[in-house]
Amino acid sequence: MGTTAARSIGVGVIGFGWMGRVHAQAHARLRHHFPDLGQVPELVAVADDVPGRAEAAAAQFGFASATADWRELLTDPRVELVSVTAPNWLHREIGVAVAEAGRHLWIEKPVGLTADDARTVAGAVAVAGVQGTVGFNYRHAPAVALARRLVDEGGIGRVTHARFAFLSDYAAAPEGALTWRYERARGGSGVLGDLASHAVDLVRFVLHGEIASVLADTAVFVPERPRPTGATSGHAVAAGGVPGPVENDDHVSALLRLSTGARVVLEASRVAVGEQNAYGFEVHGTAGRLAWDFRRMGELQLSRGPAVQDQPVATVLVGPGAGEYAAFQPGAGIAMGYDDLKVVELRDLLASVEAGRPVGVGLDDAVRAAVVLDALADSAARGARVDVPPA
């Protein structure tokens, strides 16, 4: 297929930690994988308030300008689309400002600290008439797309029950620095917004059902951490700092009831020793089973057929025809990576810009996930099952 004539679309990135770099790389790679889109991202401006970070990003990635003030970035007439990869407590303010400035929005989850924050950003995008998407990248894995298709087609019968788990050890060390991530005012609900938000989105995406009610339990297993003595990045260790309290949750486990009648066990932890990005799901139906593990992203475990009892499990290596695999590799068994999923995410946003309507995951998905997260927190606080209200 030949390429179409395309115009440049100016891009700004606000926040340039690890995720800001991932966004910048996706913008740079977009045309390599999806040459028929009508826009080619052009890196115009980057903003980060850590001294020297924006300038270093401009030198490495080729941004035309760099600033410490994200508001200044929004005054640049060349910027038409903005990636927001700043810390959670800034998402509402920046997301609304981006929309009101008439720029398209690519924002990382959980889009603020509460469902009200997510609603406010989504509302601002709708009023401004711009397009927006949120960083629920795991739904873009080709094996996850295949799992959704199989569920939709009845390939494992009617879904009865499932398990979704997002387990990691990034906060398992007690010496991990007490950064904003562990403060309720800036980091929100902790592991709920960080990891459980992805799990909730995958439940909705893969199982084709809304979460109707939840029964949740949460815990803080590392109650104190040392305050950092200097600037930090990522999940730095800060041994020797003055201890301070952890204000949000390390772990959540929950029993979900879906509108379809299916039951789901959901678990997320940031302190799971021995688990590194152990993200995935297992889905059981009346005629089969499927399972996916992010660490083996190109594989789907599948059991289906007439036997039902004592039925074997096969490993399916996904390839062209599953999701957007063909845009990256020519044949099954060639690995894709995390960063590829962000390229797919950006493709959908630019397709939305072309179509003038949401394509793929939208800010309504961010709102719905946030409503479920608020319900999980409410259930844990009350020690009771709660209904999930409408978004």
Per the CB < 8 A criterion, the answer to whether 133 and 106 are in contact is yes
At 45, which amino acid appears? Answer: A
The second-level CATH assignment, the architecture, of 140-338+371-385 is 2-Layer Sandwich (3.30)
Rg (CA), the chain: 21
CA distance linking residue 369 with residue 379, whole number of Å: 15
Q: Is 295 exposed, middle or buried (0-12, 13-18, 19+ CB in 10 A)?
A: exposed
- DSSP assignment, residue 212? E
Q: What is the pLDDT of residue 362?
A: 96
CA distance linking residue 325 with residue 231, whole number of Å: 39
Look at the block and give the residue holding tokens 């057929």: 305
CA distances from 320 to 144, 178, 325, 328, 338 (A): 14, 44, 5, 9, 18
The percent helix, strand, coil of the chain (3-state, each to 5) is 35, 25, 40
- Strand order of the β-sheet with 314-317 is 314-317, 299-304, 288-293, 278-285, 159-167, 263-269, 251-258, 211-219, 386-387
How long, in residues, is the chain? 391
| Structure tokens belonging to residue 63 | 């941004």
CA distance linking residue 37 with residue 352, whole number of Å: 11
pLDDT in single tens digits along all 391 residues of the chain: 445 578 999 999 999 999 999 999 999 999 999 999 999 999 999 999 999 999 999 999 999 999 999 999 999 999 999 999 999 999 999 999 999 999 999 999 999 999 999 999 999 999 999 999 999 999 999 999 999 999 999 999 999 999 999 999 999 999 999 999 999 999 999 999 999 999 999 999 999 999 999 999 999 999 999 998 765 556 777 767 899 999 999 999 999 999 999 999 999 999 999 999 999 999 999 999 999 999 999 999 999 988 889 999 999 999 999 999 999 999 999 999 999 999 999 999 999 999 999 999 999 999 999 999 999 999 999 999 999 999 8
7-137 fold: Rossmann fold (3.40.50)
Q: What is the pLDDT of residue 1?
A: 43
Look at the block and give the residue holding tokens 């990636």: 83
Look at the block and give the residue holding tokens 């590392």: 222
| Structure tokens belonging to residue 187 | 């980091």
CA distance linking residue 24 with residue 343, whole number of Å: 10
Task: Report the alpha-carbon angle 353-359-365, nearest 5.
Answer: 115
For the chain, which residues make up each domain, given as ranges? 7-137, 140-338+371-385
Give Cα 23 to chain centroid, integer Å.
Answer: 12
The span from the first CA to the last CA of the chain, in angstroms, equals 41
